[in-house]
Each structure stands twice: as C-alpha cells, then as structure tokens.
Amino acid sequence: MENPTMSTSTINTNPQFPNTKSSMLGMVGGGQLGRMFVHEAQALGFKVTVLEPEAGSPAAHAADAHIQAAYDDATALQKLAEACASFTTEFENVPASSLAKLAETGFVAPSAACVSIAQDRIEEKAFFTRCAPQTGILPAPHAVLRTAEDLEKVSADLFPGILKTARMGYDGKGQVRVKSMEELCTAFANLKGVVCVLEKMLPLAYEISVLVARGADGQAVVYPIAENVHRDGILFTTTVPSPHVSADAALKTQNAALKLIADINYVGVLCIEFFVLQDGSVVVNEMAPRPHNSGHYTIDACVTSQFAQQVRAMARLPLGDVRQHSPCVMLNILGDIWFDGDVVRQPAWDKVLALPSAHLHLYGKAEARRARKMGHITFIATSLEQAQDEMRQACVILGIAV
C-alpha cells in the first residue's frame, strides 16, 4: 500500500500495523538504498519510518511511515526519535549532527562519528593512513588543498592527478582530472575554492570493493570480493566472484576491511573500495558507511543480503551467512535508456526478463533522467560465463554499449 505525502506535523502509518516503538526502525534518507532496506526490514517483521525531504521518494513509497522534512529539522528528528528505538542511514551526506541527536534517545548504527569520517576525504585518508600499520594498505599519494597558497606546495610527483572536493562528492561529481599545475589552478578556481584533495593517478588494473558488516557484539562478516567497472564516474557493472583478483589480494583486502571496521567500533554495513594496480599492489580508495551499489548483487546471489545485514545490525540481531550461492554480474540501469533522442520510451523489460538469469530491480523513481540510477539487473547463473553473456544480451536489448 502506497503512503501519501506527509508533513513534519504528522506521521502517517500503515494502519494494518500497530505503531510500537520497539518494532519501528528509523531510516534517515529516502533513496533506493533505503527502499531496499525497507523491504528487508518488513520481511523480518519490522516497520520503518523514513525521514526524507522529498515527496514520493523510493523509500517513502515502501515505508510504513514518512516524515517529510529536512534531515536536520529539529521537530522531525524529535518525531523520528519518539517513533523508533534504533536508527540508520542510507546516504553518507546526511548531517552527522542529526545522527548524534538521534543517539541521545536510541541506538544509531553506524554512529555519527563513523559516518563523519566517510563524509570528508581528508579525514578518511587520515584514517586509512593511521590504520596502515595494521592493514598493510595505504591510500594513493595525495595532498590537501585548503587555500590557493596550498597549490604552491604541490609536488610534481602528484601529476597527473584527480582533484576531488573533500566533501559531498559521489558518482564522479566534484572530481576533475588534472595533468599540470596550470590545470590544477584552473580546476581549483572553478570549484570555487572549496577544500579539495589532489590524488595521484596510479596505473590501475581494476577496482574491487569489499563489503563487510559488524554487529554491536563485535561479530563481523565479510562478503566475497566484487570487481567493479565504472563509466563516467558511475558504477556500470559488478562481477562476483572477481575474475581477476589473486587469492593473496583478496585475503589482504578482506582482512584490511575487518581491521578497519573494528578500529572505529563500527556497527552496520560498510563498503570499502580498493584499487589493484598493474604490478599487483593494492591501495585503498574510499569507504561508504552504508550498503553500496556494488553490493546489490547480494539480494539475489547470497544467503543474506547487505540490506538484511543492515537490519540485523541495527536491531542487534545475529548477522547472517554471507555465502554466495551463484556466480553473478550486476548491471546498473541509468535513466539514459528511457530516451531515444528526445523521445521518452519504456525499455523492453519483457525481452530482458526472457533471459533466464535476469533479476530486475526498479527503484520506483517517478522521472527518468540521464545518468540517474533507476534500477539494476542481477544475472544469476550456474557459471560466470553464462551470467556475463546474458548481461551482454541485456545491454543489446536496452541499447547500452557493451
């Protein structure tokens, strides 16, 4: 049953369920990650209240209640606190102060302190560097640029590099490739002087992500290595198991993820991205304090999905088995495929669903826009080759360049 739009003055709940605080989970954020969390929470018998400013957001449609307000609205946070006993988020740019406020009355997983590290590339890289003696993995060489004067101190060894805003960057946003000091100065000026990090571009072989979950009791589990391909800064495909990662690199990165999540006493689901370089060495790139796009395959290919783990962690239940039962490829679906030139069309889902291994997930977004994540398809097969072949067939059907 779809919920109507709600204001901060009212919390509308699905009338078929009693609104009991112990069984109501609080979600800050209303996107597709929140929607998939809601589905898993409801499957486990919980109800979910979503705090999200956008009317008709994916998570709000699925949730039992929607408080429509800004993430830092004091009245809305109070109502969420009154309705729920535990809280989480699906968006790392939610104000950490809001999570800290909710922690005054309930259990927040992950904590505001953990989320704040991932919100700032400077803090994030400092965290990775501090933990390097334990993990054996460093971030890429980089420089922090707070003012124009800092540009003068940049080493020539960092070129070519990628200039990234320290905060609010995702899906390739707030990132500029620079090959020289002249290009760096121009790019920094175009970013209006916000605090940035310049990262040295390294000879990348491929990217992997390690998904890990940790409970309040310290129990931690780590999923199989996922190998990612990006296009224009947005995840294109995730293949699991990774077809290229060595056993040594897999073990090293999985152990590193477990050490990192324990170091900050993290509770919840965390995704850490690593770069495997052409010489086989590994550097740590960034982390997301929530379920991750590269972990969507777990819904169909693993015993316990990343969203079910998020529910279990915040409800302080035992974590689930992370075993992968089938090889798979996950394909992101962007809004571009709804357009034939300027004409809006409906993609040929009937042909896609005729592929035996295809599992389609659409996020319920009202409007398709170019480069907007609208859904994903996971291809589950008896062999990785079959999953890859059917993924390519789907791309042809949908008009996506392979």
Q: Give pLDDT tens digits for 59-69.
A: 999 999 999 99
Across the beta sheet with 12-13, what order do the strands follow? 12-13, 65-67, 47-51, 24-28, 86-89, 107-108
Query: Domain map of the chain by residue range?
Result: 12-108, 141-200, 204-398
Task: Please tell me whether residue 115 adopts helix, strand or coil conformation.
Answer: helix
Residue 341 dihedral angles phi and psi, to the nearest 5°: 70, -120
Overall average pLDDT of the 303-328 stretch:
98
Tokens of 295: 């972990």
Under DSSP, the state recorded for 167 is: B
Helix crossing, 121-135 with 247-263: angle to 10°? Answer: 120
Is 170 annotated as contributing to ligand binding? yes
Catalogue the long-range contacts made by 289-292 (C-beta closer than 8 Å, 24 or more residues apart): 289/89, 289/92, 289/110, 289/114, 289/115, 289/117, 289/118, 290/33, 290/88, 290/89, 290/90, 290/91, 290/92, 290/110, 291/33, 291/36, 291/37, 291/90, 292/209, 292/211
Q: What are the pLDDT digits (tens) for 105-135?
A: 999 999 999 999 999 999 999 999 999 999 9
Q: What are phi and psi of 117, to 5 degrees?
A: -65, -45
Please tell me the CATH code under which domain 141-200 is placed: 3.30.1490.20
What token pair was written down for 67? 């408080």
For residue 1, is pLDDT > 90? Answer: no
CA dihedral 116, 271, 220, 30 (to 10 degrees): 70
State the pLDDT at residue 21: 72
- 64 appears as a binding residue in the annotation: no
Q: Do domains 12-108 and 141-200 have the same CATH topology?
A: no
Give yes or no for a contact between 375 and 364, defined as CB atoms under 8 angstroms apart.
no
Average pLDDT over every residue of 258-266: 98
- The identity of residue 84, as a single letter, is C
Q: Model confidence over 149-195: pLDDT tens digits?
A: 999 999 999 999 999 999 976 666 789 999 999 999 999 999 988 99
Q: What is the pLDDT of residue 27?
A: 98
Give, as one character, the DSSP assignment of residue 224: P
Give the residue-averaged pLDDT of 288-304: 98
Fold of 12-108: Rossmann fold (3.40.50)
* 121 annotated as a binding-site residue: yes
Q: Which of 294, 353, 370, 354 is nearest to 328 (CA)?
A: 294
Neighbours of 272 (CB within 10 A): 26
CA torsion 61-62-65-66 (nearest 10°) is -40
Task: Tell me: is residue 201 an annotated ligand-binding position.
Answer: yes
| 207 labelled ligand-binding | yes
Q: How far apart are CA 99 and CA 81, in angstroms?
A: 10
Annotated ligand binding at 172? The verdict is: yes
Q: Which CATH superfamily is domain 204-398 in?
A: ATP-grasp fold, B domain (3.30.470.20)
* Torsion of the alpha carbons at 243, 248, 253 and 259, rounded to the nearest 10: 150
Average pLDDT over the chain, rounded to an integer: 93
Query: What pLDDT sits at residue 20?
Result: 61
pLDDT-based confidence at residue 397 (cuts at 50, 70, 90) = very high
Is 252 labelled as part of a ligand binding site? Answer: no
- Greatest CA separation for the chain: 64
pLDDT at 189: 93
| The pLDDT of residue 108 | 98
Q: Is 164 annotated as a binding residue?
A: yes
**Arithmetic mean of pLDDT, 339-345:** 92
pLDDT of 18 > 60? The answer is no
Question: Is pLDDT above 60 for 290?
Answer: yes
Q: Is 285 annotated as a binding residue?
A: yes
Residue 286 annotated in ligand binding: yes
Question: What pLDDT does residue 3 have?
Answer: 37
pLDDT at 388 over 60: yes
Query: Is residue 7 scored above 60 in pLDDT?
Result: no
Q: Is the pLDDT of residue 227 over 60?
A: yes
3-state secondary structure at position 96: helix
Q: What would the mean pLDDT of 347-361 be, rounded to a whole number?
A: 98
The pLDDT of residue 14 is above 90 = no
175 annotated as ligand-binding: yes
Q: Is 45 annotated as a binding residue?
A: no
202 marked as part of a ligand binding site: yes
Residue 200 assigned to a binding site: yes
- pLDDT value at position 169? 67
Q: Is 218 annotated as ligand-binding?
A: no
Record the pTM: 0.93
Q: Is 374 annotated for ligand binding?
A: no
